[in-house]
Every structure is written in structure tokens, then in C-alpha cells.
Structure 1
Amino acid sequence: MAVIDSLIQWDHPDLVKKTYKSGDRSDKLPGEEYGWDFSSPGEGDADTRLSSQEMSQIQAEFQDTFKLPSDQLLKKYQQLSGILKQRYPKASDSEIAHRIRNLIRAEIGSEFHGTWAAGVIAANSEDKAGILGVAPHTQILPIRVFGLRGAINMASLSEAIGYAASRNVDVINMSLGGLLPDEGLTEQIFDVLDAHRHLVIVASAGNENLDGVGFPAGIPGVVSVGATNMTGNRTFYSSYGGGLDLVAPGGEIQNSLSGGILTTGGTWLDGFWQGMSVPDYTWGLALDPLGKYVQVQGTSFSAPIVSGVVALMKGEDPKRRLSRDEIVSILNQTATYDGLNLSKADANRYRLQKEVGFGTVVDAPVSRPSGIFPKAKPVSAQEYFFGRGLVNADAAVQAVKQR
């Protein structure tokens, strides 16, 4: 299973034994051992983890949020303070300082987005003191394409997909995307899918709350995954409509962290806490004071749930008798609308869209056609918001066994 994402801290106690180690091969890259970092200049880097240089870039900001009193924090981060005061004019200085702390911690914590995705799929600690991913016996091939602050280019992403395919992975998870397609990336995905008939690529539908999934999820042949919350509703952020294949839990934490997806974090590294005491409280998305575990939300985490289910299905098909099309067909056929609910807002949104036509933009923040693959006739409200339904791991695995 390849995870193409940001920082993947594969030495996390729950991931270190689940990381694929490169053997001897003729096309092995210089120093390649545990995946590859395509975000680095030139030909890349052999380590997808946070480097000492990168730690030095973000350590001070992270520690400021714990060390500095409110008045010093406001002074040091004047620009951010000014933005927040405009947004929250009635907030006190202490409230603004609290928001600054949370924003900086969230930004730095989310640098480990790839670690979050990998944990959802394959977390499995040796001492059983941690958490279990959807497919805890799956091996992860870590592939980094994002630098710090979300820096990425499409050429690196295309290279990463080709690299993953060359390493004969069964599944590629991409918890990433944008609204508009990239021609080179699309061609690369088509080429890889054509050349590897058993390879399944899974991508997040997007967090834009738009009719029509983003890309690469919208590329034909890629399994696109939207997100539901704990009550079975579509999450407030999940994109829907054209191109959506199915949904899985993605978390919703605006009211409570307990509604999030529990996974592996990255701020437990010693460098973050060097020279300071670890707090005696939890903070931000962290479940524990170190941030070894976090609770998150996004289609970025519903996608790896489906990737994990595909891994479980592949585990019941060791001889690879089933093609990608057969695996995806089973995923879709075993998905269910049981337990899913339409919110009143979504029901009304569907009524309006059905009335004006499913090829018409309704209240979209960007100018583009409604849905990537407009239907000739209206789909049901359930399919509009949930695709083929909620992924059903047990039914999908049993269906593979019966084949």
C-alpha cells in the first residue's frame, strides 16, 4: 500500500513495523530504504520523515505557543493578531492569544498529514498500547510529495505515482486534490492504471462542500471517497454529486474532538519538546500531551479507510485473481445506505438542484460546471450525496472470499 502524502513519520511506534523496506532491486534509488521523498529538490530524498533542518524551521513557533505569555505572543505575532482581531472584534486579548496558539499548533501538527493517513490504514503497535488501523497487517510504502507549508508541484506527484506503481503496490492512497485537473497527472494515472490491471487508486473527494469531486478523485478509474459523520450524515465539508463513488467516516470535530478519526500524530518527536517541559494537558487535535495521537476530520481520512478495506480484500485474494475492476465492483455492490441520513439542508439542496437541473451551478463559490460527470437524468438524493453508499468492510471481504 503506497501512501502519497506529506510527512510520513514511519518510525512512529504504531507504524515502524508496518513500513515496507526496499530490498535489492536494479532500479533502487540512492539510499532508498523506506519509500521516497519527492518534495526535496533534484531527484528527491530517501527519508519521508521530518528532517533536522525542517525541525529547526518550525520548532521555535511550536514552542512559542507553550512558552510565551499572552502579551508576548500577541507582540511577536502582530500580523496574525491583527487578522484575528478584525475577524473577532469582540474578542479579548487573551482570547486572541488562545486562537493564535491553536492556529500555530494546528498548522504545525498538520504537517504530519501523511502520518495521519498512514495511521488510519495500518497503525498496529507491537505492545498493543497504541491504536489499530483498518488493515493493521498491511505494509505501508511511504511516499512524500508535500514540503513544509503544503508546497507541492504536479510533476513530483506524477513521479510519485509512477514510483509507487514500479514498486508493485496493490493500492495507492492519495488524500489530496484540487478543483481543476492537471493534464500531465491525468495522463500518468491513465498510463499507470492501463499498465497495472490489479492496482487500485483511492483518493479523497474533497472538502469544498461542492457538487462534483476534486482531482485526482475525479479521474476515471480512481475510487473517489466522500465523508460521513458519526450520525450518518454527510459531513459539512464533504464534496458530493458528480464523480462520487462511495463514502466512509471522515470525522467532524467542530463541536467535539470525540467526533474525529483517531490516528497517529507527529509532534511526539523529541525535537519539539527540547528545552521545555511537556504540558500536563492536551491541546489542539492531540489526544495526549505529546500529540502522539490525534483526532482529525476530512475526506483525507475517509479515503484511507476505503484504502484499508481494499487492502483487507486483497488479503483474501493472495493470488490476485481479481482485477481492479472486480475489486471496485465489489466495493460498490456491497456499499449500503443503511445508517446514512440526509440532513434537512441536504434534502432541500437536492430539491433545488433537481428542479433547476443537475448540469446547473447552484451557489458554487467557483465558476465551473456542476458535477464532473453530469447525469442524463436526476439521480436519487442518496446517490447524489453518498455515491453508492457507505463502505461495508465485512460484506466486501466476504464477497471476495466467495469468489
Structure 2
Amino acid sequence: MLNRQLTIGLILVVSLFCTVLPAAQSQMVYSSRKTGQTWIVKWRTKVPASFWRQAEQIGNDEEGVYLVRLRQEADVEKWRQRWKTHPGVEYLHPNVRYDPGYRFANRNLLSAPGKSYYLYKTRFPQAWDFFQRKADLKKVKPITVAVVDTGVDLSHPILKPFLTEGINVKDPQAPPEDHFGHGTKVAGVIAATWGVRHGPAVGAGKIMPIKVMENGGDGEVFYTVKGIREAIRHNADIIVLAQGSWAYSRMMEEAISEAEEQGVLVVAAVGNSDYDLNQQQLYDRPLYYPAAFPSVLSVGAVNVEGNHFSISNTGPGLDLVAPGDMIYTTTINDSFSFESGTSFAAPQVAGAAALVWQLHPDYSAREIRMLLSQTASKPSRSPEWDEKTGFGILNAYRALRTTGINPDPGEPNDSPQQARLFSLSQELDLVLTEGDQDWYVLNLDQAGKLHIDLVHNGSKEKVQLFVHQLPAKRKQSYSLLPQAGKNRIEISVPKGKTYFRWTVPQKVAGQVKLKFHVTFSAAADNYEKNDMLSQAAPLPVKETKAVYEATISKQGDIDWYQVVLTEPGDLNISVQPGTPRFDPVIFKVQADNWEKMRYDEKNEGGTETLQLNVEPGQLYFRVTDYAGNPIDRPYQIAISFEQRDSSIYENKKK
């Protein structure tokens, strides 16, 4: 058995948003999450010459995907409306800003934790000993972990033995050298989980640096996706993403699907919560993309005490947590530092995944993901899954010593009383046999539409899904034929609990294996259909502030409203998001004032406000999402009006 005394100077790595916790209070640092007028366009057909009259190409990924910048004279509204509906365009969306997260105020701890405390909490020392006993180190398969980030310090003495040839996506002629530090910190956590500071490194892991940003503030989804695809092409086994955004990107979803198809495990941090300049928390949910995608192993953070770390995002889809508070790791210039954030929790999971994969080279990426979730540590009597800790804290030792993966972890769930509570945006596995029925339950806090994606794992038998709203005994049933690929079911559901009952309607000789996940979209609001100016929904102006609630319920949804004013005065209209997924844009039309029609001052989750000096008449305004995405939470419109002195208005009329 290896004698591993955990001394000072551990290395930490990885994945999503970093928090800097210096000795004194630090100022919050914000960066614009928009990249100007740069857009991603994927063409199904040859690009027509007319497209390039108002746009110039500044990058391309695979065939048909272009990064373009609008020319100065282009009207973004007209350009976008014209090309997003073109039959040759598969999708068009903004080049969303991706970054490693914000900086936070200092954590005032009575005493700093040991430099290796987090490895004890995740039981890596026992995992190393077990690995050494069980693995044939001469035959163990090397596992390559790609760090898609700011690069890595290529000469750091701790990291250098692990590094394999990397790629600089933005400047292919230059090495993926890290000048900022975040990627080096992520890589350091991975190396730490392999025991590098405590004797000979365990296993034969490699770290592949993929540089997609220079300083943490210049990240873009376009280049991050290019980095993911480069990692896949260069045979990475695991990809760690220490960056992200609340905004959905079709291009990113395609890259994640490609990784899954190629058998590559993607590990991503869930992101750090958002704070204002007074250090008041604005949003701590939902998860950042790409962590929010069902096939990504999403990782949140716990603090030194092992409880939910308040800066770690929460919500549906969270898989695991690991320590993310005061993590000692490598940084540039051959140095080390303490760091905090979900960026330094996710790499611990990636490091554990690499060790498991070396012991079980026959496992698929999906099976590795399942095993780590099934072996996580949870306090007794706590729910199997929750929005703050997912399935629990990473337990590297239990993951390594567990033989076999439970193909049906929901059992026993043969009745409504035993129904397994599950989360949106999370893949579930089940096994059906003749006479068997598997019950699951989803608890929604608002009405909307569910999108159920089912994958038939190669069986030829039909399966049947019953969707119940109990105790009202409302029931819908769906019979699904065996076919390759996915089946999608879309159903409208009320607020509250929705039950799913899976069965096989015929005799079967063996087992029918399935996997499914469920996503949610908001129900259409009471103002629909108001997609055109001529359909604008009237919003009454009251003596006191009036608040109205609406939804962006479909792709490219446009909500038009009308305000009728009978007196002159000061009008304030605010659009307040209910989630940082929503980045509202207001476009106003007023007969006597066409100046500054488009209002878009804030980023995701920020309130946009019109402050207008108005005369009697009609005012129309339109609300959309910057990226054109459907939004799963309602937004509010607040309207207040203060009447101007009527004598001034009468004199003006004379």
C-alpha cells in the first residue's frame, strides 16, 4: 500500500468559473458578455453573394459554419430578420461571450485550510492506494484530459511531465502558452488528483492544453467550440470546460453532441453566481451552459466545511459537487496560489474520471458519468438528488472500487408512492421487463411544455409511456416504436407534480433498456398572439405602478405591446427578467420620436428601462431576447407614469 503523506503544495485544476480570494476585500470585475455585432451562421446551402454585402467573414469552423461581423452601415435588425428565415440558413445566433466567471469578495475564514484538504474530502489518497494495488501500470491505458481554456504554463515543473502537444485555436502558429493563469490553475487541479505532489504520479494521464482565449475576458463560444472539436480530433478522452455562459448556443449544443457520439466525456463547471457592485447576489441559478446540457457531467462546489458553496450555481441538471473553496493549485511563472470557484471543483471530477477509465478501459463515457454519480457521497436521510449538491460529493475511492454500474438506479419505483423524483435536463436510465413499470415524478413550479427525448438502446420492442397528473387522474399515453435515434414527445403540463410511468405493452423475453431526459419551455402568455405590430397587446397605464407578466415561449418570439397616453408626462417602462437566461432587448415605436428605437444596455438577467418624456398619443414597444432563444421563466413589465403640469401642456398647445 502506498504511503502518501499529503504535504503542502497540492495542485488543482479545472473547470469553470474562478473566484479570486485575496487577503483583502477585492472589487468585483465585470466584462461585457456580448461580443459586438459578431454572429454565427450555419448554412445548409452555398452562401449567396448577397449575404456578404453587409457581413464579412472573420472565421469559420466546420463546413458551412461562419463567424461574421456586420459592416458598419448594416442595420442589425433588418439584417437579422432577413437571414434568420432564409431557407438556406440552419441557424443564426450571436457569438456569445464565454468567460471563466467573475471575481468575488474575499472569504474571511478563521484559519486557512490545509493545502490538500479537498483531496481528503473526496478520498483521493485511498483511491491512489487502491489504484496502485489493482492496476497493471505497464499496461494501463493513457487517458488524455483536454483543458479548453487560456492555455497552460508549458514550463511549469509540476505540469510539464503531464503535458501533451496542445493547440492555440486563435493563433495556430503560436504555442498554447498561458499568460493569464486560469488554464494553468485548472491543469494543476487535475495533476493534484493524480497525486503528483505526494510521490510518483498515479496512472498515466496526460493533459492537453487547448488555448481558446488570452485573458479570460476575450472568450467566445465560437472559439470554445473550435477548441472542443480540436480536442476531439486529437483524441482527447475527457474535455474540461472552465468557462461558459447563461445563454444557449446551438453551435455549442452540436459540439457537445459530437463529443458524446465520439465517446468523449465532457466535464463542465456549473458556473459562479452573479453579484452586483455592492456584492449582493443577483442570480445563483440556473446552471451555465454547457454544464446545463444533459450529456455533460456538470459539477458544482462545496465550501471548506463540505456544505453548499454560496457562489456555486444551482438548479436542474446538476450532477456532482466537489470542494471549490480555497483550493491550492499551480499558476503561471512556476507559482502556486489559493483559488475558489466552480472552476476548481470540476477538474477534481475529471481527474477521478481518468483514474476510473484507466482501471475500466471498456467503460463508455456515459458509463463513467453514471458511475461517478452513483458513487457520490450523500448525508444519511438526505434526498437522492437536490438542486444544490446533485447526487452528492465526489468520492474517488468509492468510484474506483465499485464494480459494475447499476443500469436501473431508479428501482424500486414500481408505484406512484415509490416514484423517483428527477430533474429537468438530466439523463436517466431504466430497464423494463415484462410486467414491470417504472414510475418517475417531476415537480414543476409553473405550467409549460415538456420535451421528452427517449433513446431506445437497440431493442426491438415497443415501449409505452403514460403521463399522469395525480390525483386528478388526467392521463396521456404514448406508444413508441423501436427505431434508431431519438423519439421526442411534447406535452403541455400544469404547475405541480407530473408522473411518468414506463412499461412494455407486450411479452418480452429479456430486458428493454432505455434512457431519457426532459427539458422545459414556458407556456404562451395571455397576450399572445402579439408577434406583429398590428397585434400589439394593450397595457393600461395606471395611477400607480402597474406590473404585467409575460413569457418568451418559442424560438424567435416577438412580443409587441401598446401604451395609450391621454396626458403629457414622464413614462418609465422596465423589462425585468426572471432568469439570467433572458437578455431583453426593447424596440420602441412612437410617431413623433424615432430616435434611439433600440434599447439594449444590460447583459443577461439585467433590467432594461425606457425613460421617456411623452405627449398624448400611442406608443408601441417590442420585447425580444438578444439571442432569440425561448426563455423558461416569465419576465415582468413594470410601467409607471407621472403626469406633467397640465398648464404647461395647455400653453404649449396655444
Of 187, 200, 210 in structure 1, the residue corresponding to residue 265 of structure 2 is: 200
Structure 1 gaps, min length 5: 21-33, 55-110, 252-259, 269-291, 342-379
Residue 112 in 1 paired to residue 181 in 2?
A: yes
Distance 1:328 1:389, change over 3 A: same
2: CA distance, partners of 1:133 / 1:161? 30
2: CA distance, partners of 1:214 / 1:134? 32
Question: For residue 346 of structure 1, what is the aligned residue in structure 2?
Answer: none
Question: For residue 425 of structure 2, what is the aligned residue in structure 1?
Answer: none
Question: For residue 371 of structure 2, what is the aligned residue in structure 1?
Answer: 330
Residue 7 in 1 paired to residue 138 in 2?
A: no
Q: Is the 8 A contact 2:269 2:291 kept in 1?
A: yes
Question: For residue 235 of structure 1, what is the aligned residue in structure 2?
Answer: 309
Residue 397 in 1 paired to residue 400 in 2?
A: yes
Residue 48 in 1 paired to residue 113 in 2?
A: no
1: CA distance, partners of 2:240 / 2:312? 18
Q: Is the 8 A contact 2:284 2:312 kept in 1?
A: yes
Of 233, 245, 253 in structure 2, the residue corresponding to residue 166 of structure 1 is: 233
Of 34, 37, 57 in structure 1, the residue corresponding to residue 168 of structure 2 is: 37
2: CA distance, partners of 1:45 / 1:339? 54
2: CA distance, partners of 1:293 / 1:192? 32
Aligned residues with identical type, % of pairs: 32
Counting only pairs closer than 5 Å after superposition, residues 95-174 of structure 1 correspond to structure 2 as: 111-123=180-192, 137-174=204-241
Q: Deviations over 1:18-46 (max 9, x none)?
A: 111xxxxxxxxxxxxx2011133xxx244
Q: CA deviation at 1:339?
A: 9.1
Q: Which moved more, 1:322-331 or 1:135-144?
A: 135-144
Question: For residue 348 of structure 1, what is the aligned residue in structure 2?
Answer: none
Distance 1:135 1:296, change over 3 A: farther
* Equivalent position SS for 1:248: strand
Q: Which moved more, 1:390-399 or 1:152-161?
A: 152-161
AA in 1 matched with 2:254: E
Greater relative contact order, per chain length (Cα 8 Å cut-off, separation 6+): 1
Q: Is the 8 A contact 2:246 2:289 kept in 1?
A: yes
Distance 1:301 1:131, change over 3 A: farther
Q: Deviations over 1:335-369 (max 9, x none)?
A: 1113999xxxxxxxxxxxxxxxxxxxxxxxxxxxx
2: CA distance, partners of 1:15 / 1:139? 10
AA in 2 matched with 1:180: A
When normalised by structure 1's length, the TM-score is: 0.58
Distance 1:234 1:172, change over 3 A: same
Counting only pairs closer than 5 Å after superposition, residues 68-79 of structure 1 correspond to structure 2 as: none
Q: Is the 8 A contact 1:18 1:124 kept in 2?
A: no
Residue 293 in 1 paired to residue 342 in 2?
A: no
Q: Deviations over 1:274-333 (max 9, x none)?
A: xxxxxxxxxxxxxxxxxx11110010010000000101101102xx31112211111111
Question: For residue 95 of structure 1, what is the aligned residue in structure 2?
Answer: none
Q: CA deviation at 1:125?
A: 11
Question: For residue 283 of structure 1, what is the aligned residue in structure 2?
Answer: none
Distance 1:125 1:303, change over 3 A: closer
AA in 2 matched with 1:7: G
Question: For residue 375 of structure 1, what is the aligned residue in structure 2?
Answer: none
Q: CA deviation at 1:192?
A: 2.4
Distance 1:200 1:119, change over 3 A: same
Of 305, 309, 316 in structure 1, the residue corresponding to residue 348 of structure 2 is: 305
Question: For residue 322 of structure 2, what is the aligned residue in structure 1?
Answer: 248
2: CA distance, partners of 1:133 / 1:239? 35
1: CA distance, partners of 2:256 / 2:405? 30
2: CA distance, partners of 1:185 / 1:116? 24
Q: Is the 8 A contact 1:213 1:241 kept in 2?
A: yes
AA in 1 matched with 2:176: T
* Equivalent position SS for 1:163: helix
Report the structure, 1 or 2, having the larger strand content. 2
2: CA distance, partners of 1:190 / 1:295? 34
Distance 1:213 1:113, change over 3 A: same
AA in 2 matched with 1:295: F
Distance 1:332 1:141, change over 3 A: same
2: CA distance, partners of 1:131 / 1:36? 30
Report the structure, 1 or 2, having the larger helix content. 1
Query: Matched residue pairs, number?
Result: 253
Q: CA deviation at 1:148?
A: 2.3
Larger Rg computed on CA atoms = 2
Q: Is the 8 A contact 2:150 2:216 kept in 1?
A: no
Distance 1:246 1:123, change over 3 A: closer
1: CA distance, partners of 2:232 / 2:199? 26
Q: Is the 8 A contact 2:302 2:324 kept in 1?
A: yes
* Equivalent position SS for 2:190: helix
Question: For residue 327 of structure 2, what is the aligned residue in structure 1?
Answer: 261
2: CA distance, partners of 1:262 / 1:323? 31
Q: Is the 8 A contact 1:120 1:133 kept in 2?
A: no
Counting only pairs closer than 5 Å after superposition, residues 333-344 of structure 1 correspond to structure 2 as: 333-338=374-379
Distance 1:306 1:184, change over 3 A: same
* Equivalent position SS for 1:189: helix
When normalised by structure 2's length, the TM-score is: 0.36
Question: For residue 368 of structure 1, what is the aligned residue in structure 2?
Answer: none
1: CA distance, partners of 2:268 / 2:349? 9
